[in-house]
Structure 1
C-alpha cells in the first residue's frame, strides 16, 4: 500500500533539490534508506550530502539505515518528512 507524504527540504538539501517541499508517493512501510533512495531518484544531486542527512518523521529524528518507517498519508498533518 502506498501513501503520499510531504517532503520538506532545508538549507543545502533545498538548494540541491531546487525545491523546499513536495508531495511524494512511497510505500506506507519502508526503511529510512529506501525513502532516501526514492528521494535521490527525484533529485540526484542530493546524493552528495548523504552522509549528512537526518530525517525527521512526525518530529522524531531518523537516521539513514534499516529502521522501518510506517508513514501516514498527507491527509494527516503529522506526515511531514524533513530532509
Structure 2
C-alpha cells in the first residue's frame, strides 16, 4: 500500500524533500512507518522522540500508534519554537 508522507520545517530540511510516497505492507502502523522513514532518511534521527505525526490532518499523541491504510496522509511535524 502507498502512504503519502509530508515533511514540515526541520524534518523537511533533514529529509531533503517536502513529501514522499512510501510503500508499506498492508496493516502497517505508524511505528513501522517511522522505522522505514529512519532507514530512508537517517538524518531524521535528530528529531526522534521530539516530533509528532498527524494522520489525515489529525494530530496523534506522541506515543500513539495507529494502523495505516493505503492513501493515508501522514505529516511529520517537528517541535516549533518562537515567541
For Structure 1 versus Structure 2, the TM-score category normalised by the shorter chain is 0.7 to 0.9
Q: What residue ranges of structure 1 are gaps of 5+ in the alignment?
A: 74-78
Unmatched 5+ residue regions in structure 2?
77-83
Residue 63 to residue 30, structure 1, CA distance change in 2 (3 Å) = farther
Q: TM-score, normalised by structure 1?
A: 0.79
Q: Which stretches of structure 1, 4 residues or more, deviate above 6 A after TM superposition?
A: none
- Structure 2 counterpart of 1:34, from 32, 47, 59: 32
TM-score, normalising length: structure 2: 0.79
* Greater displacement, 49-58 / 9-18: 49-58
8 Å Cα contact 1:31/1:66 also seen in 2: no
The corresponding residue for 1:21 is 19
| Aligned-pair Cα RMSD in Å | 1.6
Q: Using the alignment, how far apart are the partners of 1:31 and 1:65 within structure 2?
A: 12
